Amino acid sequence: MTASRTAASVYAFRVDPVLVLMGAALLLVGLIAITSASIEYADFHYQSPWYHSVRHLIYIGIAVVGGYVVYRVPLEFWLNTGWVWLFLALALLILVLIPGIGREVNGSQRWLPLGSFTLQPSEFAKLALVVYLAGYLVRKEHEVRHEWMGFLKPMAVLFTMTLLLMVEPDFGATVIAVGTAFGMMFLAGVKLRHFLMVLLGSLAAMVLLIASAPYRMKRLTAYTDPWADPFDTGFQLTQSLIAFGRGEWFGVGLGNSIQKLFYLPEAHTDFVFSIWAEETGFVGAMFVIALYAVLIGRILWVGRCATQLGNLFGAYICYGAALIFTGQSFVNMGVSSGLLPTKGLTLPFISYGGTSLIACCALLALVLRVEVDMRTGSKGTKKRRRAK
């Protein structure tokens, strides 16, 4: 009896190898890319070529430990406390806007200084939004699918969050949050008429936000023809495109990038994919895209299986995670390659930044927990199946 219980316990925490391998591979690619892209910049600004590499490695350690803690917590806890995390996320978004508390960088007030660590509340807000919405969609399933109020209530929460994000301003996080929320609501079975009406209203609001800010309009016009003003509005995009062009098929070799030598501003952050493409070429860029494709595809597969087993909360968690990873990776790589207008947004698991890494690892840990509960038939999963 004891031996069987021990075996069951070990089996219960045997994580999905595909999810773990893809996540670990992306973290490793990120460490290599950040190290290569930041050496000259760190040496010039901090008199240490390994400044960003060491910090990024520490962030990875914190993110992995944090992810493990999230993984060990039962899904029932997140289902019952989603509103708490949402309230905390909104409080942090308000706190970062208070003068003297939030840190302003390049005209945006998005960071909370915590000693040597800087917290970006928008990353935590996206994670909290997924957990809260997943719980809401389970509790209010009938209301969401058949009544206006069931759809409008989470939209009111989303409006509050996006309003706070736009005050910072953080247009990229706003787009991802709105896209993720709409995607989760659509997959939950909301009435198509309700969905389309609110979607069209949201798109109109996005257009007004772009048109009302001169710097956003400049980015949009620069995106259509960056070579028309390559030394001002089109500078980042033209330098990024040069990096892609220099990479050709197999790249110039790790560490041999020219664009990171102060041509592409802060290449280890938003444009790290450009440096990776320059140094590893088309093959290296496609390798990273393949990693994301496998990871996101596996998450969607876990979500579909969870739906079939009646674990709707776990399924919505998976769909939310997949939407965030898809949106952020598509926007970041699209901006780097000139497919989309320039917008600062982290590349999941790869870009430099502790808060982003922690949020990504926490989301992946939630998916791993869903997969384990689904495979082992946990008590919480069975309860939700009977409730349905």
- pLDDT at position 149 is 84
Cis preceding-peptide flag for 169 (omega within 30 of 0): yes
- 249, 292, 269: which is closest to 25 by C-alpha? 292
Reading the block at residue 228, the tokens are 């028309």
Count of CB atoms situated within 10 Å of the CB of 315: 27
- pLDDT at position 45 is 81
- pLDDT at position 215 is 65
- pLDDT at position 12 is 45
Tokens 């999905």 found at: 16
DSSP code of residue 97? T
Tokens 């199946």 found at: 385
- pLDDT at position 11 is 43
The full set of domain ranges for the chain reads 17-387
Terminus-to-terminus CA distance in the chain, angstroms?
Answer: 33
- pLDDT at position 133 is 95
- Give CA angle at 346 (34, 101), nearest 5°: 105
- pLDDT at position 219 is 66
Question: Position 239: which residue type?
Answer: Q
- 22, 38, 139: which is closest to 79 by C-alpha? 139
- pLDDT at position 269 is 78
- pLDDT at position 9 is 45
Distance from C-alpha of 363 to C-alpha of 367, rounded to nearest angstrom: 6
- pLDDT at position 86 is 95
- pLDDT at position 65 is 96
Reading the block at residue 285, the tokens are 């860029």
Q: Which residues of the chain have pLDDT under 50?
A: 1-12, 379-388
**CB-based contacts of 213: which residues, under 8 Å, 6+ apart?**
169
- 134, 342, 74, 55: which is closest to 219 by C-alpha? 342
Torsion of CA 8, 10, 11, 15, to 10 degrees: 150
The pTM of this model reads 0.90
